[in-house]
Structure 1
Amino acid sequence: MSSRFEILRPLEEDTASKLLLVRDNKRGDELRLRRFKTTKPEEIEGLQELFRQLAPLQNPHLDRLIDFGSDKDGFYTIVAGALPGETLTEVLERGPLTEKEFESVARQLLDAVSALHEDAIVHGSLRPDYVRISGKSAADWQVTLHGFGQGFAARNDSKEEQIRAYRCTAPEQWQDGTTRRRTDVYALGCILYEALTARPPFDGRVLKELRLKHLGHDLAPLQKLASHVPGWMCAWVMHLMAADPEQRPRKAGAAKELFERREAPNLPELPSTRAELAENAPPPPPVNLIQPQVSAPVVLPNPQQGARNATSSTIPISPGMHVAANRPQRPAAPLMPAQRKISAPMPRQPAAPAAQSTPLADALAKIKSNKPVVIAAAAIVLLLAIFVLPRCGQKTAPTKPGATQKKH
């Protein structure tokens, strides 16, 4: 990082990064610098790609990126302005949002996530801690979305903080680590559920318990906890949180259209008790839960035709290489001439030799190709074994004493 920036004071820190207030000595502005703690080359390369894709976005609900890059201390980003307002989590400590407050937050969040999704960028780890609100009342609230590159970072390594960090994780992330736009929609639903109730939809004492609740969709119906808002609003939030990804809106823009029309698909009524839920819900697949790591870029699913994927997630369940390279390359961002390391191609594995043909293999192939004939022959042999063969071995019954044979 250039000596142009002077560090004033630390603002916050988590297990993945540290946020500092700095001054631009050239312009005299106060800016925010986030220093990521990872030193792994592949993770730094993933962060470079992520912020290269974020740099062109101009949205009032996303931070304006001033600079980003890597130096001897790792990767850093610099954004404009002081840290705005307070987190949604801090706002909810005073109680659930009113209907007007909820509409203000929902619209602005949908606008921010829609801007990401339209550019094929996936946040991957949305949660209330990454939503900041400034302003005195709902009428002038300004909502901004943060957390890019931080993933599931926690304030410390305690179990309580880990639960807080993973409370909006989608079922498919718990199962195989895949992340896509529908995953963001699920996490957005979890955020808005918490906004209306001032409590997370899923909770647990350990990560394993939290995972089981997400996979089993073990949560209280929102309609019973948020009676102060219209029913369509509760149904819409529950629609975003559908356990099956294919039952959710495909992206934030589709969810936004439903919200503006005040619509939500008719969903089956949720069980009212945990006993009913446990009885009706299928058992979750056996997945081994790996202990959280500080930083492990998530594996994205194979992109659809023309899709371009990027993610800021660090998911400990299925660590793997960052796959934002599926996205067509843009011209280098004007912010910095970042040099990107190009990894060597993987050596091609030799093709397996074809299996040699043998008489036994030929016979088995013929049997497989004539299944009806083989089944009919087997049925005839079975009938012969049951009815005919036992009679062939029977002896003539002996003649009783004193009985006369009938003459013909």
Structure 2
Amino acid sequence: MQDRYEIRDKLGQGGLGAVYRAYDRTLKREVAIKRISTSDDVPHNAEATKQMTQETGALAALQHPHIVTIYDVGTDEEGPFVVMELLKGKTIDEIVESSAPLTWKDFREFAMQVQEGLIAAQDLGLVHRDLKPSNLMLNWLPSGKFQVKIVDFGLAKFAAEPIFQDVTDGDAVYGSIFFMAPEQFERKKIDKRTDMYAIGCVYYFALTGVMPFQGETGQQVMAAHLEHRVVPVSELRPDIPSWVCDWIMWHMNRLPEDRPENTREALQTFIQLDVPITQSMTPDPQPPAPKRPRLLVPGAEPVAPAPVAPSPASEVRPAPPVTQTMPKPLKPPEDAPPSLHTTDQQTLVSAGPEASPDAPPPAAAVIPNVPPKVATASPTAEVVPTSTATAKPARAVPTAQAVPTAQAVQATGPAATEASSFGHTTIGSTPKPPKGLSSSAKIVIFSVLGVLILLVSWMIVTKMGTNKINKRYNELVTITAMPTTKELPVNKDDLKILLDSVGTGANTSRETVYKALAIAQSTDGTDVDEAIAQFATKETLNDDIRVSLLSRVLRKRANPSSLNYLLNYSKTTQNEQVAAAALTALTEIGGEDQVDDFIDIIQFSPSNAIRKAAEGALEGILKRSTHREKWGQTLADAYAEASDDSTRRTMIRLLGVAGGPESRKVLEGILEGDNMLDQLATIEAMKSWPDDSMFEPLMEFLEAQSDDTVRPKAFTAGYVFLMDDKRKRSDEKTEAMWRRLSENAKTPKEQDTVISGLVQIAQSEWPIEIIQDFGENSTNDRVIDRSEQAITRIKERLVILKGSKKDFDEE
């Protein structure tokens, strides 16, 4: 390598290795060289180098405009390296953090280029494994158009344990963890859908400027991924078309099977949904309808999560973060030549034209109230506006019969020149019937003229009212779209305008209207919550709109005045999707008076979706209760009366939330029995137990188990129990409980789990003793290595806590 490449300077250091600027003496060009990191304790693996050479060789043959070009790959005495084209642009995280989130037009171009690059790689069977904003670079072409380049494709596989560095560090959060899919934390098999999740997180960041899954430590971020706690894109960027927000959230679904199968499917859906506003709605032949993204409700219960300490935020969903900086269009560097591609250029997309990059989403079209100077009834007449600055020339639409409008009447007195062809009659002058007309003919003529005058008057009044409503609508959505708006003052008329706009036709600002309704505050005593609840439960609405009003708007408002509407509607509607949405809203609204209602729904509803929603609402009530244990007997009775297995196991989970002596009696009885599925439900319930009283029965059950299915679940429950930082306990009690769990860590995986947990919670020396026992008694190389690393890290932390290393050594 030294014979051909001259290393000139170091460009950066990342989780996969270091990048250097170098000069290729053979081809006389600058290149970038990446050294793949290897652990000091682990010699480089020749087989890994061989595989890397094969895969990067395939990537080099690809030569795709949106993937960094690979020139060479090899290994020397320092380990493996990759030679690639030298890029001089900025990464997407640098752009967003230094400037602002992307506008819709720039994001559209950015996303389509990324998808094109990923399709080409996936067609070769390549998986990136480490997609994040710093691995997506934007270069500016000489014409002024930006070009996306995906870097580090597939190299994550060859780094020395990059996931361990990202996940287990208790003192810092590395970049990759914000964009890693849940299956990477769970150490499950990864495939193309893992990249789908990661790129969805990147898109989320590019549009909002915030990470989709947040936390102050690596463990909290991991918990957010596994518990799927994410604020929908639509709540942070209401100016973005709603289908785009759904498309991004589709990528970020918790389970791989709920995401796009691959990038080709995702891009096909994007293109089909991105319909220009001038395109016919019924083309011939009609293309197949795009696959609707399958979305999961944020905060939904995770499926078989890895052992993770729940974050305190898991009980109460935090308020959505706001975009700190207004989106701005991307521009070439200042020293670049003038751009031929301006982001201000009009693009016909489903979102409609934008007035400016920073403008709020457009509202319903407002017809300018500018009377033309001349108008005739001819179908081909040109309508000339009074000022070209306020209205563009438009051609009148031919109709079967000319109908006077408000603009067809001149209000300047006798000199009016407007005319409407009706026999020989001119509007604006006294009609002169021809000679020889009978009295009945005169009556008919004057009657028709009277009707026309009334019709014109009605249209004038209607148009004035419509313009007034449209103007107020635009004011409301403009105020709502401002990032600083937290409350929206409304009166009864304002509320009607917002509700009517939701329920009628296509509305490009519907997401903004949902936000407006969620933050609306009455200025005239109108009960906003009751009005929204009545509208959502009684009006004829599209199911998607009704679900959004129930599960998003009313749930966010969480006002008891809508409670009875939602509860009654959930019991009477035949639509299980809408009923479940009403019950979801009750998760934040319901009180202890509704406990029996929810138990009835769980026991008697034939719909699994409705039963699950009722369980979630009841769980929320129990967690908010200051004396939840009093409901133990009620739930125990419901458990005893359950008519099917599903209802019985639902009651088991709820008994774990309630806690108390009655609940404990039921759960201990199940653990002593022989129904394995009920035991698994009980183990899951113990994770939610409100105090430490069930830890001992759980450990006794664990020690008596040999079943390969039940035992790992019980161990994981014990770990989650200890990692729950909402449980306050003394250091002595904490030590005793961790020692009890460590005694039951029989496999290398379980020992590794204990080590990981102790690294994060260690505030004194006793965790070192437990970890040393693992290292000294284990024959597993990974456990031994992890033990040594963990002890070093804990000691470093204790030095900081105690003030100096000298003090620590003396003690």
TM-score class normalised by the smaller sequence: 0.5 to 0.7
Please tell me the residue identity of whatever aligns with 2:111: A
**Aligned counterpart in structure 2 of residue 100 of structure 1, from 100, 105, 127:** 105
Structure with greater proportional helix content: 2
Offset at residue 268 of structure 1 (A):
5.5
**Aligned counterpart in structure 2 of residue 135 of structure 1, from 125, 136, 140:** 140
Tell me the secondary structure at the aligned position of residue 56 of structure 1: helix
- Deviation readout 1:350-385 (Å, 9 max, x if unpaired): xxxxxxxxxxxxxxxxxxxxxxxxxxxxxxxxxxxx
User: Are 1:31 and 2:31 counterparts?
Assistant: yes
User: Are 1:85 and 2:112 counterparts?
Assistant: no
TM-score (norm 2): 0.33
Partner of 2:176: 165
Offset at residue 271 of structure 1 (A):
5.2
Partner of 2:64: 59
Partner of 1:74: 79
Partner of 2:317: 274
Partner of 2:292: 265
Tell me the secondary structure at the aligned position of residue 193 of structure 1: helix
What does 1:351-390 correspond to in 2, within 5 Å?
Answer: none
User: Are 1:206 and 2:217 counterparts?
Assistant: yes
What does 1:107-146 correspond to in 2, within 5 Å?
Answer: 107-135=112-140, 140-146=145-151
Partner of 1:188: 199
Tell me the secondary structure at the aligned position of residue 212 of structure 1: helix
Contact 2:141 2:147 in 1 (8 A): no
Select between 171-180 and 268-277 the one with higher mean Cα deviation.
268-277
Closer, same or farther in 2 for the Cα pair 1:202/1:138, shift >3 Å? farther
Contact 1:159 1:206 in 2 (8 A): yes
- Deviation readout 1:136-188 (Å, 9 max, x if unpaired): 8997111000123146859x987676442211111111112321001111111
Please tell me the residue identity of whatever aligns with 2:68: D
Closer, same or farther in 2 for the Cα pair 1:135/1:216, shift >3 Å? same
- Deviation readout 1:287-319 (Å, 9 max, x if unpaired): 94986xxxxxxxxxxxxxxxxxxxxxxxx9xxx
Closer, same or farther in 2 for the Cα pair 1:203/1:160, shift >3 Å? farther
Structure with greater proportional strand content: 1
Offset at residue 29 of structure 1 (A):
0.9
Offset at residue 49 of structure 1 (A):
3.2
Offset at residue 96 of structure 1 (A):
1.3
Partner of 2:471: none
Offset at residue 229 of structure 1 (A):
0.8
Partner of 1:340: none
Partner of 1:47: 52
Closer, same or farther in 2 for the Cα pair 1:235/1:15, shift >3 Å? closer
Partner of 1:12: 12
Closer, same or farther in 2 for the Cα pair 1:289/1:140, shift >3 Å? farther
Tell me the secondary structure at the aligned position of residue 250 of structure 2: helix
**Aligned counterpart in structure 2 of residue 243 of structure 1, from 244, 254, 257:** 254
- Deviation readout 1:33-74 (Å, 9 max, x if unpaired): 111232421443442233133222120011221111111111
Offset at residue 249 of structure 1 (A):
1.0
Contact 2:11 2:21 in 1 (8 A): yes
| 1: CA distance, partners of 2:243 / 2:140 | 27
Offset at residue 206 of structure 1 (A):
2.0
CA-based RMSD: 3.2
Contact 1:24 1:30 in 2 (8 A): yes
Tell me the secondary structure at the aligned position of residue 79 of structure 1: strand
Contact 1:163 1:205 in 2 (8 A): no
TM-score (norm 1): 0.64
Please tell me the residue identity of whatever aligns with 1:244: L
| 1: CA distance, partners of 2:114 / 2:204 | 13
- Deviation readout 1:16-39 (Å, 9 max, x if unpaired): 311111112233211111112324
Please tell me the residue identity of whatever aligns with 1:118: D
Who wins on radius of gyration, i.e. which is larger? 2
| 2: CA distance, partners of 1:254 / 1:139 | 30
Partner of 1:232: 243
What does 1:385-396 correspond to in 2, within 5 Å?
Answer: none
- Deviation readout 1:80-122 (Å, 9 max, x if unpaired): 2x32311110111122110011001100110111111111111
Closer, same or farther in 2 for the Cα pair 1:223/1:289, shift >3 Å? farther
Closer, same or farther in 2 for the Cα pair 1:165/1:27, shift >3 Å? same
What does 1:294-333 correspond to in 2, within 5 Å?
Answer: none
Offset at residue 269 of structure 1 (A):
7.2
| 2: CA distance, partners of 1:45 / 1:146 | 20
Partner of 2:328: none
Structure 1: segments with no counterpart, 5+ residues:
292-315, 317-408
| 1: CA distance, partners of 2:197 / 2:293 | 17
Closer, same or farther in 2 for the Cα pair 1:137/1:211, shift >3 Å? farther
| 2: CA distance, partners of 1:235 / 1:211 | 23
Q: Larger relative contact order (C-alpha < 8 A, sep ≥ 6)?
A: 1
Structure 2: segments with no counterpart, 5+ residues:
274-289, 300-315, 319-586, 589-614, 620-652, 654-683, 688-712, 717-749, 757-781, 783-811
Closer, same or farther in 2 for the Cα pair 1:239/1:274, shift >3 Å? same
Offset at residue 10 of structure 1 (A):
1.0
Tell me the secondary structure at the aligned position of residue 23 of structure 1: strand
| 2: CA distance, partners of 1:114 / 1:267 | 21
Closer, same or farther in 2 for the Cα pair 1:213/1:122, shift >3 Å? same
Closer, same or farther in 2 for the Cα pair 1:289/1:120, shift >3 Å? farther
- Aligned length, in residue pairs: 290
